[in-house]
Chain A
Amino acid sequence: MAALDLRAELDSLVLQLLGDLEELEGKRTVLNARVEEGWLSLAKARYAMGAKSVGPLQYASHMEPQVCLHASEAQEGLQKFKVVRAGVHAPEEVGPREAGLRRRKGPTKTPEPESSEAPQDPLNWFGILVPHSLRQAQASFRDGGRRRELPGGLGSSCSSRDISKSHLEVDPECGLTEKRSGGRAGLQLAADIASLQNRIDWGRSQLRGLQEKLKQLEPGAA
């Protein structure tokens, strides 16, 4: 009897896992398409403005992120990720920001509660009169950033600095895009993908646990 229950539980878990995987795959393809679009628009902007006008010379090496990612513990020990726009906080909410994951190389000093001015739109790094392709690039990255999966899935063992550093090292120019994708709505789906990945990992560990239990029960029943 217990074996039957376990099997049923196993089946439902597998179904949920497969559903999550499918969702993840779908979001990943959309994300990749948008990011590719963004990079192409960036190349077009570079063609129109000149190769040196669109590159790391245009921004300072230290900057404040427009959007932050907050990690919080939900039920069953799973981590949930929430996207919060910088500068819109009430002073009491500023505290947890240090535990939050930053998507940019931002200074990690304690943010002052009084600093409520919104960070500058990254498009203005390139001037006021920017070509249409650059705006398109920003829009693509904003939408694409929504679905961006942080590398390797997110376990609670990853520190925020590791994530931002490794992500930027993997693709040095990606830092440029990260800085440009400032939309809150944009990063929300990125958070969703990360949560999905977490759920999948958790589901797999549950699956293994259940399979062990089943193995123990089966010989006993026989």
Chain B
Amino acid sequence: MLEGAELYFNVDHGYLEGLVRGCKASLLTQQDYINLVQCETLEAPFFQDCMSENALDELNIELLRNKLYKSYLEAFYKFCKNHGDVTAEVMCPILEFEADRRAFIITLNSFGTELSKEDRETLYPTFGKLYPEGLRLLAQAEDFDQMKNVADHYGVYKPLFEAVGGSGGKTLEDVFYEREVQMNVLAFNRQFHYGVFYAYVKLKEQEIRNIVWIAECISQRHRTKINSYIPIL
């Protein structure tokens, strides 16, 4: 697994993610990368918006990855909205929440890094409850408290931010995962829409995360922490 792992990962993550990792692991040179990335793939349209960065240092790879995800999310949102009907009613709030969550998490993780505020703003998806005023405020935030102030303007996010910390030592990511699980479970209450497939996959991912967490707790002998996973009811 040790030496060959870089060669097999793209089975799960897609061709372009594989290229990025190959570059990072020094399997591919920059020229290889540029040649390979110009093939036609499913992800190619998303890459066209982002391929201005040719220097593949750490920061640019991160920017690339996040811009790619942003393009994908925006395209997906547009697709759901155009589909209309119950699917749009179910999927659009879920995707809006995803966009807002990404905005918050990107902001939180960028504190203390070399990512500038302007760059940070280009990574925020352009839809969701936070768009556009919230995102503008978020781009100026410099610490967790300022971010919390921005969230307090929104009724949905205020209680989430208040739940951070507390007795259980919950992080912002935990709180967001919980909310995502709630929304995905509710998707099953409606009938005859495609959102159930998305919800099912997301809930399966959460299940996998829970299992991995429990396994790690057992192997590290932290049995008391086993129960801090998110139950899917």
Q: Is A61 interfacial (CB-CB < 8 Å)?
A: yes
Residues of A close to B40: CB separation below 8 A: none
Instruction: Of the listed stretches A41-49, A111-119, A144-152, name the one at the interface; the rest are far from the partner chain.
Output: A41-49
With the chains together, A114 CA to B105 CA distance in Å?
41
Q: Is A131 interfacial (CB-CB < 8 Å)?
A: yes
**Chain B residues touching A, majority SS:** helix
Q: Give the residue among B25, B61, B110, B115 with the most A Cβ atoms within 10 A.
A: B25
Q: Is A74 interfacial (CB-CB < 8 Å)?
A: no
Kindly identify, within residues 131 to 159 of chain A, every residue whose CB is under 8 Å from any CB belonging to chain B: 131-133
In the complex, which of the residues A48, A50, A59, A129 contacts B115, with contact meaning CB atoms closer than 8 Å? A129
In order of increasing CB-CB distance, the 4 nearest A-B pairs are: A129-B109, A43-B216, A128-B62, A48-B173
**Chain A residues touching B, majority SS:** helix
Instruction: Of the listed stretches B79-87, B178-186, B217-225, name the one at the interface; the rest are far from the partner chain.
Output: B217-225
Kindly identify, within residues 29 to 75 of chain B, every residue whose CB is under 8 Å from any CB belonging to chain A: 58-59, 61-62, 65-66
Check A46–B113 contact: CB distance below 8 A: no
In the complex, which of the residues A43, A120, A128, A129 contacts B213, with contact meaning CB atoms closer than 8 Å? A43
Check A51–B209 contact: CB distance below 8 A: yes
Q: Is B106 interfacial (CB-CB < 8 Å)?
A: yes
Kindly identify, within residues 37 to 91 of chain A, every residue whose CB is under 8 Å from any CB belonging to chain B: 39-40, 43-44, 46-48, 50-52, 56-61
Q: Is A20 interfacial (CB-CB < 8 Å)?
A: no
Q: Is B233 interfacial (CB-CB < 8 Å)?
A: no
Residues of A close to B21: CB separation below 8 A: 57
Check A60–B66 contact: CB distance below 8 A: no
Residues of A close to B12: CB separation below 8 A: 52
With the chains together, A125 CA to B212 CA distance in Å?
22
Residues of A close to B5: CB separation below 8 A: 56-57
In the complex, which of the residues A51, A59, A60, A127 contacts B61, with contact meaning CB atoms closer than 8 Å? A127
Q: Which chain B residues have a beta carbon within 8 Å of chain A's beta carbons?
A: 1-3, 5-6, 9, 12-13, 21, 24-26, 58-59, 61-62, 65-66, 105-106, 108-110, 113-115, 171, 173, 208-209, 212-213, 216-217, 220, 222, 225
Please name 17 pairs of A and B residues whose Cβ atoms are closer than 8 Å in the assembled complex, sorted by A: A39-B220, A43-B213, A43-B217, A44-B171, A47-B173, A47-B212, A48-B173, A57-B5, A58-B24, A61-B3, A127-B61, A129-B66, A129-B110, A129-B113, A129-B115, A131-B109, A132-B108
With the chains together, A44 CA to B24 CA distance in Å?
24
Check A128–B222 contact: CB distance below 8 A: no
Check B58–A127 contact: CB distance below 8 A: yes
Instruction: A52-B9, A56-B2, A57-B21 are known; give 13 further A-B pairs, CB within 8 A.
Output: A43-B220, A48-B171, A52-B13, A56-B5, A57-B9, A58-B24, A60-B26, A61-B25, A124-B58, A128-B59, A128-B110, A129-B106, A132-B171
Residues of A close to B171: CB separation below 8 A: 44, 48, 131-133
Q: Give chain A nearest CB distance to B49 CB in angstroms.
A: 19
Q: Which residue in chain A gives the minimum CB-CB distance to B12?
A: A52
Check B212–A127 contact: CB distance below 8 A: no
Contact with B along A169-196 (1 / 0, CB 8 A): 0001000000000000000000000000
Check B225–A131 contact: CB distance below 8 A: no
With the chains together, A172 CA to B61 CA distance in Å?
28
In the complex, which of the residues A36, A50, A60, A128 contacts B113, with contact meaning CB atoms closer than 8 Å? A128
Residues of A close to B66: CB separation below 8 A: 129
Q: Which residue in chain B gives the minimum CB-CB distance to A173?
A: B219
